[in-house]
Every structure is written in structure tokens, then in C-alpha cells.
């Protein structure tokens, strides 16, 4: 997959912990290059993500004829300490990349796992990943790809949508409305200028009470309006289940039963579950920092065999760890 | 600073939330391009980091003659909701970059703030950032740069050290010892092959009890040995204050008072404080996922003025927010 | 004080526990009527209220020449178990009224104590008692009188204001606005029809966002507008400190610095303190069920002396309890 | 029902919040009197009480030919936010009484709900309401009526028993025993002077240990003694389950198996359940401040329709709320 | 049973509370010696122990022809307040021994109950009592006897094993290894000098890492080695489940599948359950202060009948308490 | 001190852990008997007790000319892990006694520490140790001696008083009163038959309410009555501060100001502090199972030097630990 090509910085070791670079230098100087089996496992359960990217790196660097690689699949559930990746190859060929491989798995699995929690809480209601603004742009696309791997329907960043092979999703920012000076005018401008394939979703909390603005926009847009998005700031008490129920009722009473309700703002799995349990009819959730700010899942890489002999550091069990779920990749 | 040049993906909007791209398209189609004042602030207190990178982006895209930019400095403390960046410029020139700018600030400030907590807890004892392995390689360098901005003495990734203008630091991985088959042999090989400027720090928990291994290495290396590193895994009860005290005492009793003790493994600010309070004489701390896995500090970007008129969305106060700490950048 | 005349039902013993009626009947039948000293004390600390009413009852029923009464004053602080009322009189003259006297003291002291907590939390900001709607109309006036005794500036019920010798205070109900169909129209109608002495306070959360409605009303009423009242329902996240700050700023920016802000809705001492600490400039608080729904402070009435001889039931100490704060009333 | 006739003070609006009086004045001055639908609902679940009294008021003030009223029944369980009362009538005819109606429902439902909790905890054991002494005498009867509505078998106040159409219940106060100087003498005096229909219940904790006093009274009264009442003060450790068991055993051993045990003093639902679970054989519970000091259940009255058009304030859903449990009253 | 012969100090009343000695003196002086029934019961549930010793004392002092004794059996479960011992005899014959009998039951039942908790947690894995070092040597044997009564397989004290009719169990102390200077040498010395019936259990945490030491000892001892004992001090993080798993794996990989693993050090019922749940294969647990430092179970001795008449102090029920589980002993 | 002579069972090793006996046998067989330094320290802070007994044992078994012993003193405070005893002697002479010495220190220090907590809580009010009935008679005396070492004024067991060189203290048991049938008769019988040196303390909760019984006894005994003891069982709510205040007041009112009040029953340091803080005038406290059931303070004995060379097991620091508070004993 083109999107997961390792960067020059990764390949030349710039992103590595310096001690791995030194280790490979020392081993070269000493002329030592055993076939070593390295096993990589997470320190807590979750959804595996980043493995495609890690394998793309390994394919680039391993000597095919002397190497074997086994792995779980992107999106698989994994238990705590379950081996997710096993490499058997001459150590000098891959030792430099331990930092990069663990990092790919750690952050992507953290994101995918948090996304899965939200998706599970939402049941059949779709979840969009909205958190690109909380991570560095260099990983915004990877983050959104991981969110989709974890179960999100789509994402707001263009890069993430490309990696995931889908279309980016979004509504409109408060900026557009502030610049246009009115929510209805902004929504009409959006409608005038955007291709028909993009759903018309109006953000209805900028200037007026959400219920009032929803009706104004619906009256102006009629059947063209796909959804209203409630994103009430904490200064106005966040989006509540009662607000959703009331907007739904007022839209229905005014004949706009076709307009859907999209909820965002400070959502996490627990808050989503609260909405679902409240009986409020939400049609879509947008989740930001709960996914994009998720803690990485630490991965550990241990050598378990050298030139066919079991070995391990204190605290680990020597020899290959049995895991029938692993599939041979290389 | 060369290291903070915006990437092609950032400049062409690939990493943006798609709705910003659409907003700029709509405004262009409608022929609207007001001078808008945007203010960017964090949702909790912390150490500001990423502002250099954000400014490098703005310098690239803003029309100099029509723009003004004010900001706090890299490494400054910031209060909750304090404006850290203010942009006054034609909206079309920078609207596309809200996602990227917020993302740079959010993740880097999160890392720098976590680093500062550890550094404060450690007092005069130096702290090294060891967490590159828990983040995606695309941000490993940025993360380590932020850790150093937050107060760490150095870091393990080569890319991070380059960004921070320092040398990378590290000891040796368990892999080297496992491959060499013995800690003493690995340490001697390290000593044989590395330039003298690199301190000899031996990792002493791979095969034998730490106290025993420390003495073996010290006897083999003598005055050449700079430090021993204790990194006991949780399976062996992690590094304890009592272990540090005992290793210190045994090294001293054997005449190796010059050998320092480096502690790593599951450290966070609280655990560092516990070591400091215990009276155990640690000479250096290595911190991993507590820094690199820190939650981003969410930043919000709000428009407060359009063509000279105060404005704001519900929940925010219209007009420019006074903050005398801001300095004019552009 | 006319307002505290005992009712016919109290005087004829209808409101008494039946066993007191029976006790007096038995004593009459047996021809026993000792001079008994009864002491009345609260089971937790608080503000004494209801003592004027209790004394008005005693003045009606005690034989002046054979009786003595000591008491603390309305509004006094009292310690737990401190004697607040001592009666020395022939038992048959007052035994029937133990239930009524304890009840007057219990509920009024409970209300006054809760009011005092809110007043203390509010500091110099006035507090209005708004909770008549949560108590039975037979005690609505007494409740509001107790709230004012506890420190409230005024109250909403007419009966309470009469008892306290002040004017009732209030703004306007949502009903008026719903019937008039618009907040501005309702406020103008209020202004047209009410005497000038009644301050114009507009309730601004009925149809539109509070900030928008505040500006509309201020523009329509100009200098005539005294205050806006924020009473946001929990479905819209209650009144927040940020809302107060924003409304204040928007009113000031539009030249309505003279318009004050009145806050109500789910307030208690803790929430008032939170507003005060937040720096939001509230000009008046309205407190409802925290005062009117306050638990009564239980009072106990014990006989401590009979015909000059100390006596007490198990658990109490025989003889008169020393309390130099008591003042001779009868 | 005669007992629920609205008082003069209620009818002339003295007990109302002043702003309702003003609202009606304004509407009259403006000549506006729409048919408005008001719905009244509680903010937490409970037992409805006070509805008879509220309906008695409405019957007095509504124009029969232009009005409709629906309600739940006295003693019904109600869910949180369930509509318990719906009024459709010209607003001027009833607007003034919102405060009084809500107050009747709030306090009476609070009392009935607390009573129900105790009755549920007690299972088949009867519960007597003993808390008249903790509320103002103006509501003592209403409180006891509500307690009986909630499930209590009877009550101690004469007024409450009249309202509920039953006989007041009670034992004897400590005063009688203190004045008579001995529990046996007091009990014999009671027996001499009270009609046979009143059960002989002796209070056995005034001078001596409860077990000793129980036996003395039983020996003196023989078959005439109905019950002993244990009301041990907290200074003597309150009534315990062990005390009940022991008194039961000692009475049985002495041949007084017919004497029942009545327990009172600081009881609430939890303590009653504890007694029941302990296996101690209590024959009757007397509950005071847990019922009479119960927090009111706040009721809200919202206009949902004006002249046939749905309307509502922000936070509520316009139009009539469906509740098939409501019954047409007027 | 010889081991439970009462000591001279017990028989002459030296260990009694002085007031019992005085009571018997007074009764003798007054010539009063009724047949009194005393019942002895625990204040919380547990395992009865010490009853054999108490009965041995009673057999020595009671006049057989005038006495009856009923009791539960050593090791029986007992409910809270269940009568475990009933004595009917002339009071002067046994009044002096109340202190001693209660003390025997209290401490022994406390120990047996704590042992039972560990044994229940361990399931089929044997538990050894190792806590003699935490109690006074005068009760070390009694304590170990009680631990075995509670379910332990054996104990470390010689006196305890004698009382329980079994062999004492133990491994070797750290002292032996420190004096021999090496764990292997100490183990070989043990093997040389101890009779074959004593299992060879080597303590493997004195000088080296436990996994390394286990393999060294196993290699030196071969089939002679029965077990290794892990007793890692808290300074090295206590014994963990991961350590057990690793030692098991390394022993198995090296062909020493016959060597068992004995775990000790800070164990209690909760920690034992944690080991069992972890899946680590422990073959034996050694428990110290959790058993030997267990709180005694307080026993109370009450007189319930005197010369055939029921009697009791306040708080207890007069007459004999029915307990069909009691068996007639004397 | 004669009372601390080691018993035959201790001297012959019966009470030892069997592995110490085996160790000494092995060392004898191998002809190894180094001079070893053993240090003994507690695992938590407390009051040292049992050291006199441990030293009496060492004096009996150590070869004076080859041995040195240092120790803290009986009753000293000790910090956690502070060395309380250091032995330097040929190992074979004392190795067998490690179990016994640790046990003496552990249990006695546990008792003394709990006693100190009560004594500290009681301030100037004397505390009597009443817990002999909760420990095995073999240690009842030692326990009471430790309680007095911890600060108690006296104790109830005869053996404990002998060890501490004082007189045993006590009142009278419920048995005496039950047998005499009346508290006054029992107290008069006590007075008739006991020597004048023993204070007359009457237990006043057996048959009647404590206040009533106190007055009856005081009237019967007059100036002869020293104290009344309140020991109310939990079935009657335990002794409360209010009960003490009332009994004090009633005694004073009746002219018995000289009669003191002794409180017992379920006391611990926290409850004693509660009494002291309540202002109730208690003259003496009796503490039972809080002291006698105190957890032992575990002691550890480590070898730190062998034939002059520093040594230690893993986790401990080789060589003699500096403690200037130790005093040379042998």
C-alpha cells in the first residue's frame, strides 16, 4: 500500500533510539550477525493497528531468503501480552527499526482501540473521527486511518480518508458562519458552491439557540438540508439529551422529519452511551480528542531465540511463544 | 529553523479537516476575504510547545503587508484559556491551516508539559526522554524536541536531538546483551567500538541480579565505567528505592564510588518524586511513555473580529482578548 | 405581632399529637397540675426562627402570675443542644402546645439556617427567596419570613413580605412571555402597566439564546431596564459562570452597562460560592428549593424540674440547664 | 372534601409569588386572556399527594364551561417528569394559583413518598406517623394526611386523622411519666381515665432500664396492657434489635406473650429494614422526622399550548404531552 | 491429651483476672456456691480451636458428679454468637478459670480461622504455617497446632508439630546460605547431613537472581532436589506470578520438571488467591504473620441460669440457649 | 529478672522453626562455626518490648568471652527498620534461638505499641489493661507486662502484675452480681470480705439502668464507694459520653462527688479520644482486646558480617548498620 511506504528518515535510522544504531555498528565491527527471533506484544488489550505499516517497513529491509515474519492482522483484537508480530531474521537487517515498528503499533493501536470503544457504545449509530486538530499534522492522516480501522464510519482529514480509501466527511466550521454573519446565509452559500454529492449539514449553535436556528435553517433549505449539527460549547452547557429530544420534536412538528441530528463536542464512549440510553434520537456522533488523544498502547520487543537457541532476558520466558493466531507474512 | 519547515502535505491542505478546505473554496467563490482576527488558546494550563513550528507555517502563507501575528514563546507557561497565538490577516490566506496549527500546539504542548512535571519532580537530577518507541516515527523527533523544551536534559532519538541541537543519549539495548550472551562481554564490546566521547553506561538487569551484575561490570571496566542502568522489569518487581540504595552501597564498598546509577522503567512524575523522597541516590532518570504518551492539550481557535468589528460565537466574548504577555512576531 | 397570632386550630389542640391532649385530660381528672420547667433545644446548630410565633402562643395561654419564660431571640445563632426556650408554668396550661411550639421552631429554624448558608456564600450580593412554590401555601409566608430572618434581602411571596414588613420581589414568569409571544413584547407590557416603583427585570431565556435576548430587551427598554434574569433550564445546561461573563461583556460592549444580572435556577450555597469564586459579576441571586425544602431542625422539649425538684428522663440531666444567653420574656 | 377547602389567603393570592399577581394584572390591563394548557410534573419519581387539594382549588376558580382538567389520583406512583396534572382554561382564571398548586403537590408528595419508603421497608408491620412536632402546626394535619396516603396506618395528630378519616394514634409522652413520677403509676392513671377503646401502650424508657420497666408495667396491668413502647434516646444508644429481642424474651418468659412491642426513635427506611432483617419481633414502628422532614418533590408548571397552538419555553417540547394515565376531572 | 495439660500457673489462678480470684474468695466467705450455667460464645464467625485445651482444664477442676459440660468440636465452624461451650457446675469450682478458658478459645480460634482462609484460597495446593517467629515462644506450638486445625498441611515449629501429631516442615534459613557462602554449597551440605526422609528444598533468593540460582541448584542436585523456595524480599519486589512462571519454564526447559516450587513471603489469603488465579504453577505456599498475627476472636462467658432459675445480665436473654449442635462432654 | 528466665522448651529448641535446628546440626557436622553478626529490626515503628526477655535468653546461651550484644531498652520508641538488637557471637551458640527471640519481640512490641496509643489518647487519665481474657493464658502475664511497659497504669491479671512489679487491678465480674442477685448486695459483700487496700469499684450495668444503679450503690456504700464502672454492652448501645455526663451529674446532685467513673467496653485509641474530646469526665479507662489482640510487629533477623567480613542477602546492605542509640549489653 503506497501510503505506508517507510520515509527516508525511518529508513536511515534518524527516528531510531540512538542505542540501536550503536548496537548495529558494534555488531558489524565485531562481525556478529545471528539469526534472532524477536517477538512484539502489547502491554494491554486492544485493537491492533499499524501492523500494515510495520510490515511495509520489514518488506523493505529484510533479506527475504533468510527471514520469516508472522503477524496478526490490522484491526484484530489482541489480548494483553499476546504476541502480535514475530520476526526471524539476521539481527543486523532489522535491529535498527525496533523503535519505529513499536511506535507505529503503539500509537495506531491506541487510536484504533479508543475508536472501537466509541463505536461499541454507539451501537448502530455511525461515528465520525473529528480529532485531527489535536494531533501533529504529520500523523493526522495515520490517526484518522486508525480510527476507521477501529470502526469509525469516516473521518474529517483528507489524508486520513485517502489512507482509508474513503471520502472525508465534515460539516462546516464556525469560521464560515462568523464570516458570513448568519447561519442561514452560510448554509445557503455552502449549498450554492458545493457539489451535490456532499451532504448539507448545518452547524446550528453559533449565533442563536440551537432549536431556533435549526428551524430557521430547515425553513430556508427545505428538502436540501440533510442534517443539523449540535456542538454546543461547555459555556452553554454542552449538548444534552434533552436538547436533542427537543430539536427532534420541533423539527418534526414543523414538518422537517427528514432532517437528521449530528452531535459533537466533548464526546467519549461513556457520554455516547449516556445519549443512547437516554432515548434521544441521535443520527451521528462526531468524536474528537477521545480518539486522537488516546494513550498509545506500549509495545515491547523481546528477543527469544538466537541462532536457534532459546534465550530471554530476566522476566521473560526463553524460546518462541506459541500463538496459533499468527499468520505467516514473509 | 530548517527542522520546522512545513511539509508539502500541510501546505496543500491534505492534513486539514476537509471542511476548512471547503470553507476557503466557498469564500473564494463568493468573493469574500475579510481580515479576520483568530485567537488560539489551550483548554488547560501547561507548557507551550509547537509555536515555532506554527509560526514557520504562518510565515510561509501570510501576506506580510496585510498581516499581524502575536504569540507567546516556545517553553512558556500558559494559563488555562490564555491566548497563546493571535493572527490578524485575510482569512483566505490562513483558514486552511487551523487544523495543522492546533495539532502542532496540542501534541507538542502535551509532551512538553508532561516532561516538565518529571523535571520538576526530579529537582537537580537530569531526566532523559526515552519514549520514542511509543509514538509514530513521523513525530518521534518532534516529541523528543518537545520533551527537551519541557526541561529534559537530552533524548534518545537522533531526530529529536537534531531538532533540539544536542547529542542523542542512550545506553545499550537488551538485544545487544542477549546477542553477546553476557553483560560484561557486551559492555566491553561497546567500549571497544564506540568513540570515547560516548559515556559507558551498562544495562545490568538482563541475565543476573542487578547488584551482582553491577559489581561484575565495574570490576571488568574499572574507571571506564560511567554508570550502570537499572531497568528491572515488572516481572521482577520494577526498580525499587531499596535496590538503588543497595547497589550504591555495594559499589561503594567495592571501591566503585565513581560509577553512577541511571534508573528507568515505568517512571512518571509521582514515581520520580518517590525515589527522590526515599533518599536513594539516583544520578539520572530515563522517562518513556509518561512523556511520549501524554494526552495532547486541546487548543481552540476562535474568530474574535472581522474587518475591525468584534464578533464571536455563542459562549465566547466578542473582540480581541487582552494579553500583555503576547509578543508581536509578524 | 399580628401575623403570629395562634390559629384556632392550634389553640384548641387540633394540631397537637393526641397523646398531649390525653395527658392533660388525665392530669385534670387526677387533679394534678404541678409547676413544671420545660426546656426546648435543637439537635443541631443553626439560626433560631419561629420563637416569636411560639412566644405569641405562650402569651395567649400561660397564667402570667404563675409563669416565667426565657428565650433566645429570633435570628440568633444557636449551638447544638443549646436551650433556646425555657418555660416554667403549671403544666396543664401549656402541655397541649408542645407539638405546635416544636413544629414552629423546627421548620422556621431549618429555613432560616439554609438561607443563612446562601447569604454567607453570596457575601455582599443580595439573595432573594424564591421557593414559595415548593411548600404548602399555608406555610409559604412563614417560610419566606424565615428566609428573610436568615438574611435574605427579600422574597417573592406577598404573605412572606407582609410578615417581614417589606415589599415582595419578583421578575416575571415564563407564562407572561409565552402568552405575549415574545420577551420584548412582554417586557414592554410589564413596563406599560406596572407602577414605576417596581424595577423592570426581564426574564431572558424563554425563546432565544440568553445573550441575544438580553441585547434585544436592552435595546427596546434602554435606561428603563433594571436587570436581566438568567434562569436557564437544566435541559440547556443551567446558568454557567461563562454565560454571566459573556452577557455582561455583550451588554457592556453595546452600551448597557447599567443593566444588572440576576441569576436563578437550582442554586444552593455551594453553587453560589462557585459563581462568586469564578469572577462572574452576578448582581443578585434567587434561591428556591434549597431554602424552602430545607430539612427542619428537630427540637426536643424536656421537663427538667417539677414543683422545684430537679427531674429528668433517662439520658437527660435533671434540673435547670444554665444558659446565660437566655432573656426573660414573661 | 371539606378539609381541602382553599383558604382565604390562597384565594386572594396572598400566598402567591408576586409576579403571578402582576402577570394577571398586566394581562387584564392589556385585555389578553387566552385559553392556555398548563402541565404540571415532578422532577423526581414518587407518590403523588396534594392533588385533591389542588383540584379543590381549581374547582373553585375555573369557569366550568371553558375548562378541562386531567389528573392522576391521590396516592398514585408517578415517574420523573410524568405529567400529573393538566389544566386547559382561560389563563386569567388560574394563573394566580400556580405557586399554591405546586406547593401543595410538592410538600405533600414529598411526605407521602418518604412514608411509602418506610412502609415498604416495614412489610406487614404497621407504621405510625409521629412527626407532627417537626413541622409548622399549619401543615401538621396535611403532613399526617400525606403520610397516611403514602401507606402509614395512622398518625399522631388529631388534624391529620380528621383529614384522613381515621382515629389519631399515640401512646403517652415522657411528660406524663415525669409528672406522675413513675411509669407504672402513669400507666395506671392512663388506664383509669381513658375510654376502653384506646389501647394501653406504656412508654418504658423514662426512669428505668426498658426490660425491667416492661416487666413492672406488665405485672401491674396484666391483660390490660396492649403494648410497650421502646423509644430509647441516643444518649442510651437508641433502640437496638437486641433490646427488642430481649424484651420480647423476658415478657414471654414472664407470661406476657400478649404484650406487643412498639418501636420509635430516629427511625428511617434503612433502620426499619435493619430491624426487620435482624429477626427482632417488632409489632409496630413510629416514624417521625424522616417523614415529616422529607424534602418536597419540586413540581414544574409549563404552558404547552395557547389558544390551540403548541408552544413551549426553551428546554421543553411544545404541545400537549401524551399521558394515558391521566383522568378527566373537570 | 498430654499436650493440653493445664499449667500450674493456670490451675493456681495466676493467669486469671484478679477479680475472679476475689469473687471466689467472697463467695467462699459468704458460703454461697450455686450451680450456675455458663455459656461461652464468639463475637464473630470462625473456626473453633482451643476447645480441647479448655475441656482438659475443666476435666481437672469440675466435680464430676455435680457437673455437666457440652461443647462443639475442635475445628468446627461456628456462627457469630453461637454457644460453643456450656458448663453447668457449682460456680466455685470453675469461676476462677473464665479468663483462661476464654483466652485459649480466643487466640486459637483466631489462628485457626486465618489458616482456614488461606487454605480455602489455596484450593488443593498445600499450605505450611511459617509464622512461629511472630509469636511468643510460649504459644508458638499452640499457634501452629491451631493453624493445622484450621487446615494447614504442616508447620515449621517442632512444638506445633508435636501437638498436632505430625512432622515439622521447613526448608533452610538464609543464615545457612550466608554462612556457607553459596546456595549450591549450602544445599549440598544440607543433602550430606540430613536423613533421606527430609525433602531437599533449596532457598534460591539469597545471592543471585532466583531463576539463575534455581538452575544452578538443580544442576548440582539433579533428582535429589525436591523443590526450590522463592522468598524474594520486598526490596526485590516480592515473589510475583511472572517469576513463578519463568522459573517453572526455565526448570522445565532444562529438564528439571520434577523440581517443585514453594512460595513464601508476605502471603495472605488474597495474595494466595491472586497466585492461583494468575495460572502460575505454585506447588506449596508458606504463610507466616497472616496466620500467627491474626486477631483473636473474642469470646464472652455469660451466666444464664443459677440453681435452675433463668437469669442474665442486661443485654442477654435469661435461660439456656438452645444449640442442638452441642455435644455432651462431661 | 526471674520472670524472664527462658523455659526449658525454648532452651532445647522445641519452640524453634525446625530449619534452625537442622542448620545448627549441619554446621556442627561440617565443623563450621563462624563469628556472625546478626541484626534484628522491626518492620514498622512502635514501642520496643520483649528485649529484656530476649537478653535473658542470650545471657544464658552465649559464650561471654567471644560475644558482644547491643540493644535498645525496654519501652524505647523505635523507627521502622531501626536495628533494635545486634549480636556478634559464634553462630552455633545462638542460631537456634532466632525464632524465639523474634517472637518475644514481635508480640510484646505489638502489645506495648497498642497500649501506648491508648495511653496517648487518654492524656492524664489512667488506663488499665483488661484484655487477659483474649489471649492464651501462657502469654497473659507477658501481655499485661507489655501493656504496662507501653504506659498502662496497671492490669487485671495477677501474672502480669507480678512481672511488672505492681498490684493487679480489677473491679468485679458480672458473675458475682448475678450470683448475689443484686448489685448493691454484691458490692456490700465485696466490701465485707476484701481487705481495705482494695478500692471498692462497683459494676453498675448488670440489672438496672446505670444511672439508677449508680445512685443505689452510692447510697448503700456512702464514702466507702471509690468508683462505679460503666461497661454497658453493645445490646444496650455501649457506654456513651452522654451517659458518663449524666451519671456524673446525678452522682454530684446526690452528694456523691467523691465517686469516680471507670469506663470499659470496646474501647480503642479512637474511642478514648472521642470520650476525652466530648468533655465527659471519665476517671479511668479499661482497655481489652485493642491491646491484647494487637497485631505483632514483625521482626527480621539478618546476618550482616561473618568472621569480620561484610555480607548480606539480596535486598540488604552488607556490613554493620550504624545505630548510635544501641547500648552495649554483653
pLDDT digits (tens, 9 = 90+) for C179-200: 999 999 999 999 999 999 999 9
User: Are residues F318 and B209, on separate chains, in Cβ contact within 8 Å?
Assistant: no
Q: Strand E85-90 and strand E35-42: pairing?
A: antiparallel
Average pLDDT of F107-111?
A: 98
Interface TM-score (ipTM) > 0.85: yes
Average pLDDT of B286-296?
A: 98
Q: Which residues of C touch B (CB under 8 A)?
A: 209, 211, 242-243, 245-246, 249-250, 253
Q: Can you give the pLDDT at residue F207?
A: 96
With a pLDDT cut of 70, the percent of chain B lying above it is: 99
- Please provide the CATH number assigned to the domain covering D114-292: 3.20.20.70
Average pLDDT of B111-116?
A: 98
User: Are residues A250 and D314, on separate chains, in Cβ contact within 8 Å?
Assistant: no
- On chain C, the residues whose CB falls within 8 A of the CB of A238 are 237
Q: What is the dihedral of CA F40, F42, F46, F51, to 10 degrees?
A: -30
CATH homologous superfamily of C112-292 = Aldolase class I (3.20.20.70)
Q: Can you give the pLDDT at residue A66?
A: 96
Find the CB nearest D209 among E314, E316, E319: E314
User: Are residues A315 and E253, on separate chains, in Cβ contact within 8 Å?
Assistant: no
Average pLDDT of B284-307?
A: 98
C-alpha D90/C-alpha C203 separation (Å) is 23
C155 pairs with which residues across the strands? Answer: C129
Average pLDDT of A65-85?
A: 98
Beta strands in chain A (DSSP E): 35-42, 46-47, 68-71, 77-78, 85-90, 127-129, 154-155, 201-203, 227-230, 260-264, 284-287, 299-306, 309-310, 327-328
**CA-based nearest residue in chain C for residue B318:** C250
Q: Which of these, D67, E99, E44, D180, lies nearest to F158 by C-alpha position?
A: E99
pLDDT above 60 for C1:
no
User: Are residues E211 and A314, on separate chains, in Cβ contact within 8 Å?
Assistant: yes
User: Are residues A36 and B170, on separate chains, in Cβ contact within 8 Å?
Assistant: no
C-alpha A222/C-alpha A224 separation (Å) is 5
Q: Can you give the pLDDT at residue D1?
A: 39
What residue ranges do the domains of chain D occupy? 2-109+295-328, 114-292
Q: Can you give the pLDDT at residue E275?
A: 98
Banded model confidence at residue C170, pLDDT cuts 50, 70, 90: confident
With a pLDDT cut of 90, the percent of chain B lying above it is: 98
Average pLDDT of C6-35?
A: 97
How many CB pairs below 8 A link A and D? 15
User: Are residues C209 and B317, on separate chains, in Cβ contact within 8 Å?
Assistant: no
B328 to chain A nearest CA, in Å? Answer: 24
Banded model confidence at residue C315, pLDDT cuts 50, 70, 90: very high
User: Are residues F246 and C316, on separate chains, in Cβ contact within 8 Å?
Assistant: yes
Question: Which chains sit next to A, with 3 or more Cβ pairs under 8 A?
Answer: B, C, D, E
**Number of neighbours of residue A322 by Cβ within 10 angstroms:** 7
- Please provide the CATH number assigned to the domain covering F2-109+296-328: 3.20.140.10
Find the CB nearest E253 among A310, A315, A316: A310
- Please provide the CATH number assigned to the domain covering B118-292: 3.20.20.70
pLDDT in tens, F119-149: 999 999 999 999 999 999 999 999 999 999 9
pLDDT in tens, D241-300: 999 999 999 999 999 999 999 999 999 999 999 999 999 999 999 999 999 999 999 999
- What residue has cell string 455551594? C270
pTM: 0.94
A17 to chain E nearest CA, in Å? Answer: 28
pLDDT above 70 for A1:
no
pLDDT above 80 for D122:
yes
C-alpha B2/C-alpha B163 separation (Å) is 9
Q: Which three three-digit cell numbers place residue A118?
A: 466509541
Banded model confidence at residue C3, pLDDT cuts 50, 70, 90: confident
User: Are residues F242 and D232, on separate chains, in Cβ contact within 8 Å?
Assistant: no
Evaluate whether E149 touches E74 at the Cβ level (below 8 Å): yes
User: Are residues D317 and A211, on separate chains, in Cβ contact within 8 Å?
Assistant: no
pLDDT above 50 for B1:
no
Average pLDDT of A34-43?
A: 98
C-alpha C106/C-alpha C18 separation (Å) is 19
Average pLDDT of D118-135?
A: 98
Flag whether E touches F (3+ CB pairs, 8 A cutoff). yes
pLDDT in tens, B60-91: 999 999 999 999 999 999 999 999 999 999 99
Q: Strand D260-264 and strand D227-230: pairing?
A: parallel
**Which carries the bigger pLDDT value, residue B207 or residue E171?**
B207
Average pLDDT of F94-106?
A: 98
Q: Can you give the pLDDT at residue C10?
A: 96
Mutate to test the interface with A, among B112, B134, B289 (most CBs of A within 10 A): B134
Q: Can you give the pLDDT at residue B111?
A: 98
Q: Can you give the pLDDT at residue E3?
A: 74
CATH 3.90.1310.10 fits E2-109+295-328, yes or no: no
Evaluate whether C94 touches C303 at the Cβ level (below 8 Å): no
User: Are residues F133 and E159, on separate chains, in Cβ contact within 8 Å?
Assistant: no
User: Are residues C313 and D207, on separate chains, in Cβ contact within 8 Å?
Assistant: yes
- On chain B, the residues whose CB falls within 8 A of the CB of E230 are none
DSSP state of A322: P
D90: region left, alpha or beta (phi > 0 left; psi from -120 to 50 alpha): beta
C247 to chain D nearest CA, in Å? Answer: 18
Q: Per-residue DSSP letters for D78-112?
A: E-TT---EEEEEEHHHHGGGHHHHHHHHHHHHHHH
**CA-based nearest residue in chain E for residue B213:** E208
Q: What fold characterizes domain E121-292?
A: TIM Barrel (3.20.20)
User: Are residues F209 and C315, on separate chains, in Cβ contact within 8 Å?
Assistant: no
User: Are residues D13 and C158, on separate chains, in Cβ contact within 8 Å?
Assistant: yes
C-alpha C132/C-alpha D100 separation (Å) is 8
B191 to chain A nearest CA, in Å? Answer: 9
A243 to chain D nearest CA, in Å? Answer: 7
pLDDT 10s digit of each residue in chain E, 330 long? 347 999 999 999 999 999 999 999 999 999 999 999 999 999 999 999 999 999 999 999 999 999 999 999 999 999 999 999 999 999 999 999 999 999 999 999 999 999 999 999 999 999 999 999 999 999 999 999 999 999 999 999 999 999 999 999 988 999 999 999 999 999 999 999 999 999 999 999 999 999 999 999 999 999 999 999 999 999 999 999 999 999 999 999 999 999 999 999 999 999 999 999 999 999 999 999 999 999 999 999 999 999 999 999 999 999 999 999 999 999
**CA-based nearest residue in chain E for residue D248:** E317
Evaluate whether B301 touches B101 at the Cβ level (below 8 Å): yes
A279 to chain D nearest CA, in Å? Answer: 15
Find the CB nearest C208 among A209, A236, A246: A209
Banded model confidence at residue C171, pLDDT cuts 50, 70, 90: confident
- Rounded to the nearest integer, the mean pLDDT of chain A is 97
Flag whether B touches F (3+ CB pairs, 8 A cutoff). yes
- Rounded to the nearest integer, the mean pLDDT of chain C is 97
User: Are residues A174 and B313, on separate chains, in Cβ contact within 8 Å?
Assistant: yes
Computed from CA positions of residues B267, B271, B276, B279, in that sequence, does the dihedral angle turn out positive or negative? negative
**Which carries the bigger pLDDT value, residue D55 or residue A170?**
D55
Average pLDDT of C101-124?
A: 98
Q: Can you give the pLDDT at residue F171?
A: 87
C-alpha B238/C-alpha B267 separation (Å) is 10
- On chain D, the residues whose CB falls within 8 A of the CB of A209 are 314
Give φ, ψ of F296 to 5 degrees: -60, 155
Query: Is E213 in a helix, a strand, or coil?
Result: helix
- On chain A, the residues whose CB falls within 8 A of the CB of E253 are 310, 318-319
User: Are residues D193 and C26, on separate chains, in Cβ contact within 8 Å?
Assistant: yes
Amino acid at each position: 500500500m503506497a501510503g505506508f511506504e517507510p520515509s527516508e528518515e525511518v529508513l536511515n535510522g534518524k527516528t531510531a533510539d540512538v542505542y540501536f544504531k550503536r548496537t548495529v555498528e558494534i555488531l558489524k565491527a565485531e562481525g556478529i550477525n545471528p539469526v534472532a527471533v524477536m517477538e512484539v506484544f502489547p502491554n494491554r488489550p486492544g485493537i491492533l493497528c499499524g501492523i500494515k505499516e510495520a510490515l511495509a517497513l520489514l518488506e523493505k529491509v529484510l533479506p527475504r531468503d533468510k527471514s520469516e515474519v508472522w503477524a496478526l492482522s490490522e484491526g484484530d483484537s489482541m489480548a494483553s501480552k499476546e504476541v502480535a508480530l514475530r520476526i526471524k531474521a539476521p539481527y543486523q537487517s532489522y535491529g535498527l527499526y525496533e523503535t519505529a515498528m513499536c511506535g507505529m503499533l503503539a500509537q495506531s493501536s491506541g487510536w484504533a482501540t479508543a475508536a472501537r470503544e466509541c463505536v461499541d457504545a454507539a451501537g448502530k449509530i455511525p461515528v465520525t473521527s473529528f480529532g485531527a486538530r489535536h494531533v501533529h499534522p504529520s500523523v493526522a492522516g495515520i490517526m484518522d486511518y486508525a480510527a476507521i480501522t477501529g470502526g469509525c464510519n469516516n473521518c474529517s482529514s483528507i489524508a486520513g480518508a485517502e489512507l482509508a480509501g474513503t471520502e472525508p466527511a465534515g460539516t462546516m466550521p464556525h469560521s464560515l458562519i462568523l464570516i458570513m454573519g448568519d447561519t442561514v446565509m452560510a448554509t445557503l452559500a455552502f449549498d450554492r458552491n458545493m457539489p451535490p454529492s456532499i451532504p448539507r449539514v448545518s452547524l446550528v449553535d453559533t449565533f442563536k439557540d440551537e432549536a431556533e436556528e435549526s428551524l430557521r435553517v430547515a425553513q430556508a433549505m427545505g428538502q436540501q438540508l440533510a442534517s443539523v449539527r449540535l456542538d454546543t460549547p461547555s459555556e452553554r452547557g454542552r449538548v444534552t439529551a434533552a436538547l436533542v429530544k427537543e430539536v427532534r420534536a420541533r423539527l418534526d412538528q414543523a414538518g422537517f422529519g427528514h432532517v437528521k441530528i449530528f452531535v459533537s463536542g466533548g464526546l467519549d464512549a461513556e457520554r455516547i452511551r449516556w445519549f443512547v440510553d437516554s432515548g434521544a434520537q441521535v443520527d451521528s456522533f462526531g468524536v474528537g480528542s477521545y480518539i486522537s488523544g488516546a494513550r498509545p498502547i506500549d509495545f515491547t520487543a523481546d528477543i527469544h531465540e538466537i541462532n536457534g537457541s532459546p534465550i530471554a532476558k530476566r522476566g521473560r520466558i526463553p524460546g518462541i511463544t506459541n500463538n496459533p493466531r499468527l499468520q505467516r507474512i514473509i
